[in-house]
């Protein structure tokens, strides 16, 4: 068996692992990277990239059907589902070189394409190689969670991993799960011409602000999606092309294809974590605020750490770990400034506290201000007026922002920056936003925070009258 000694061993070549490996290697560390499957991990091959590619295809089809809104003849698009999937895989192929083994070897990273398992606190065995490292980073990501629904094992079903190999358009797609993945794929397939039924055991889009989610769900239902909330799947039966899902209340939903999208589970099986003294929780590897596991030589980041499951969070974790593992700095991971987006249309975006969370934490010191899209001239010009920006403010600073509407994911960047840097609402009002842009929404919501203090204040009015009396 070959033996390697390295400064840093990274297990998993998804977004977080690749960021750690690239940063550490370029700063002079000896880095070894293990990947048992595809470089780029879930985000490139099964998650963020392919999902946004198919969402775009669905959006084009939807715009063709509704072109008459803008004085252009509407047309029913001809959907070639196999060609749509070719588009999806083409996008993956275009990005893949950025995450390739060759590129990272160019950085000086030693890449080994094998499973890894701990054999001691500082040593991992991968194939015929034993790797001893000063520091180890677990960046193994997550996989679709498949619930133990009776009959599911006997029926063909899709997950966000296997969906991309499907070449025939589903006549009627049943989606179990009304979270971000389920709803994104539901709307995309509805726009591509499939009948779609979503079964959600509790509230659809339940992790988002309920006021925002209500607007989004109304739009989705208006496009023809059937969304059944408080509907738990009890049994699954049938065969390819003819699948039935029986709910706990006895109702039966019939479709041609089944997509299971009820959540994800951290990839920790087979690592033999207990051998290295690493404890796990229900959601992933147990870590402290520095992302260290119960074995202080080992870190866990991204989905493997059991917290927020987003690619950008894994990238953020990577920066924290590089500071700690390479420079010995007491860097800590925080969550208050981390945004997330659901890429349905209209988009849902959140950073910091929701209104409910903010009211619970800040009580009467909280101000909630909002500005509607229909008050924005660019939104009016493009007839994209559904939605609003809502900002939670305490002590003159934003502590949370919620957006539903066109490009909400782009607009939340502004508030993510503001919250991360402790920017005051006064600073937002100092900004001059070009007209007409959607970015004006953020300035206008800041104006809404100060308007009552200026226009509804008798003291301000007295001062103005006094000044006007004595001005030459």
pLDDT for res 453: 63
The mean per-residue pLDDT over the stretch 106-123 comes to 97
The reply to whether 374 sits in an annotated binding site is no
Q: What is the pLDDT of residues 230-262, one digit of tens each?
A: 999 999 999 999 999 999 999 999 999 999 999
Please report which confidence band the pLDDT of residue 461 belongs to, taking 50, 70 and 90 as the band edges: low
Q: Which CATH number fits domain 339-455: 3.30.390.30, 3.20.20.300, 3.40.50.720, 3.40.1370.10?
A: 3.30.390.30
- DSSP string spanning 147-163? ---TTGGGS--B-TTTG
CA angle 162, 19, 416 (to 5 degrees): 90
| pLDDT tens profile 438-452 | 999 999 999 898 866
Q: What pLDDT, on a 0 to 100 scale, did the predictor assign at position 466?
A: 66
Percentage of the chain exceeding pLDDT 70:
96
Return the pLDDT at 450: 86
Highest mean pLDDT among 305-319, 380-394, 453-467: 380-394
Crossing angle of helices 81-95 and 48-65, rounded to 10°? 140
- Close Cβ partners of 386 (under 8 Å, ≥ 6 residues apart): 215, 219, 346, 373, 404, 405, 406
Tens of pLDDT along 50-106? 999 999 999 999 999 999 999 999 999 999 999 999 999 999 999 999 999 999 999
Cβ-proximal residues to 159 (8 Å cutoff; 6+ apart), any chain: 144, 146, 259, 260, 261
**Superfamily per CATH, domain 152-262:** FAD/NAD(P)-binding domain (3.50.50.60)
Residues of the chain with pLDDT > 90: what percent? Answer: 92
Number of C-beta neighbours around residue 51 at 10 A: 21
| Per-domain boundaries in the chain | 2-39+100-144+265-327, 152-262, 339-455
For residue 5, pLDDT over 60 is answered with yes
Does the annotation place 15 within a ligand binding site?
no
Residue 180 assigned to a binding site: yes
Residue 99: closest CA among 13, 12, 160: 13
Position 150 pLDDT exceeds 80: yes
Question: Dihedrals φ, ψ of 356, to 5°?
Answer: -60, -45
CATH T-level topology, domain 2-39+100-144+265-327: FAD/NAD(P)-binding domain (3.50.50)
Residue 40 and residue 18: Cα distance in Å, rounded? 8
- Checking if the pLDDT of 471 tops 80, the result is no
Q: What is the pLDDT of residue 463?
A: 61
**Rounded-to-5 percentages of helix, strand, coil across the chain:** 40, 25, 35
Q: Is 250 annotated as a binding residue?
A: no
Give the pLDDT score at 456. Answer: 58
pLDDT per position as a tens digit, 279-336: 999 999 999 999 999 999 999 999 999 988 999 999 999 999 999 988 988 899 999 9
DSSP SS3 for 15: helix
Residue 277 has pLDDT above 60, yes or no: yes
64 is in an annotated binding site: no
Tell me what pLDDT residue 1 has.
83
Q: Any binding-site annotation on 439?
A: no
178 annotated as ligand-binding: yes
Interval 335-356: pLDDT, tens: 999 999 999 999 999 999 999 9
Confirm or deny that 141 is annotated as ligand binding: yes
- Kindly tell me if the per-residue pLDDT of 220 is higher than 70: yes
Confirm or deny that 183 is annotated as ligand binding: yes
| Cα 279 from Cα 300, distance rounded (Å) | 11
21-57, pLDDT tens digit by residue?
999 999 999 999 999 999 999 999 999 999 999 999 9
Q: What local confidence, expressed as pLDDT, does residue 454 receive? A: 53
- DSSP for 310-360, written as a single string: -HHHHHHHHHHHHHHHHH--------TT-EEEE-SSSEEEEEE--HHHHHH
Specify whether the backbone of 376 is left (phi greater than 0), alpha (psi in -120 to 50) or beta.
beta
339 annotated as ligand-binding: no
| The overall pTM is greater than 0.95 | no
Say how far apart CA 390 and CA 155 lie, in whole Å: 44
Domain 2-39+100-144+265-327 matches domain 339-455 at the CATH topology level: no
- With residue 419 as reference, give the H or E element that holds it: helix 408-420
Task: Please check if 116 is assigned to a binding site.
Answer: yes
Averaged confidence pLDDT in the chain: 95
The verdict on whether residue 319 carries a ligand-binding annotation is no
């Amino acid at each position: 068996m070959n033996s390697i000694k390295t400064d840093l061993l990274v297990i998993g070549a998804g977004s977080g692992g690749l960021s750690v490996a690239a940063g550490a290697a370029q700063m002079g560390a000896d880095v070894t990277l293990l990947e048992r499957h595809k470089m780029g991990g879930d985000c490139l091959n099964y998650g963020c990239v392919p999902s946004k590619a198919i969402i775009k295809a669905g959006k084009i089809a939807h715009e063709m059907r509704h072109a008459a809104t803008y004085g252009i003849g509407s047309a029913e698009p001809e959907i070639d589902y196999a060609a749509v999937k070719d588009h999806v895989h083409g996008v993956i192929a275009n990005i893949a070189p950025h995450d390739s083994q060759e590129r990272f070897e160019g950085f000086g990273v030693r890449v080994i394409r094998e499973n890894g398992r701990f054999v001691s606190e500082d040593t991992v065995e991968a194939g015929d190689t034993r790797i001893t490292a000063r520091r180890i980073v677990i960046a193994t990501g997550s996989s679709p969670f498949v619930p133990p629904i009776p009959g599911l094992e006997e029926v063909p079903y899709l997950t966000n991993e296997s969906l991309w190999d499907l070449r025939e358009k589903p006549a009627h797609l049943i989606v179990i799960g009304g979270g971000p993945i389920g709803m994104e794929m539901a709307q995309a397939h509805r726009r591509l011409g499939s009948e779609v039924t979503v079964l959600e055991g509790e509230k659809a889009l339940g992790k988002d602000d309920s006021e925002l989610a209500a607007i989004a769900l109304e739009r989705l239902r208006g496009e023809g999606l059937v969304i059944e909330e408080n509907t738990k799947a009890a049994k699954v039966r049938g065969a390819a092309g003819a699948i039935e899902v029986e709910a706990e209340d006895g109702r039966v939903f019939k479709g041609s294809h089944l997509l299971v999208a009820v959540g994800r589970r951290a990839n920790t099986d087979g690592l033999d974590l207990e051998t290295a003294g690493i404890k796990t929780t229900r959601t992933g590897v147990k870590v402290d605020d520095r992302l260290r596991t119960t074995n202080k030589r080992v870190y866990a980041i991204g989905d493997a750490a059991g917290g927020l499951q987003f690619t950008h969070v894994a990238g953020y974790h990577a920066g924290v770990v590089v500071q700690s593992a390479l420079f010995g700095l007491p860097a800590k991971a925080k969550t208050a400034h981390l945004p997330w987006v659901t890429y349905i249309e209209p988009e849902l975006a959140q950073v910091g506290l929701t209104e409910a969370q903010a009211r619970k934490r800040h009580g009467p010191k909280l101000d909630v201000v909002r500005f509607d899209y229909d008050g924005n001239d660019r939104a009016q010009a493009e007839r994209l007026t559904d939605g609003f920006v809502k900002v939670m403010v305490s002590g003159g600073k934003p502590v949370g922002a919620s957006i539903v509407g066109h490009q909400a994911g782009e607009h939340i960047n502004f508030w993510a920056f503001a919250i991360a840097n402790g920017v005051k609402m006064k600073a937002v009002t100092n900004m001059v936003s070009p007209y007409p842009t959607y970015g004006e929404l953020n300035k206008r919501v800041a104006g809404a925070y100060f308007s009552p203090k200026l226009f509804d204040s008798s003291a301000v009015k007295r001062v103005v009258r006094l000044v006007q009396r004595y001005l030459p």
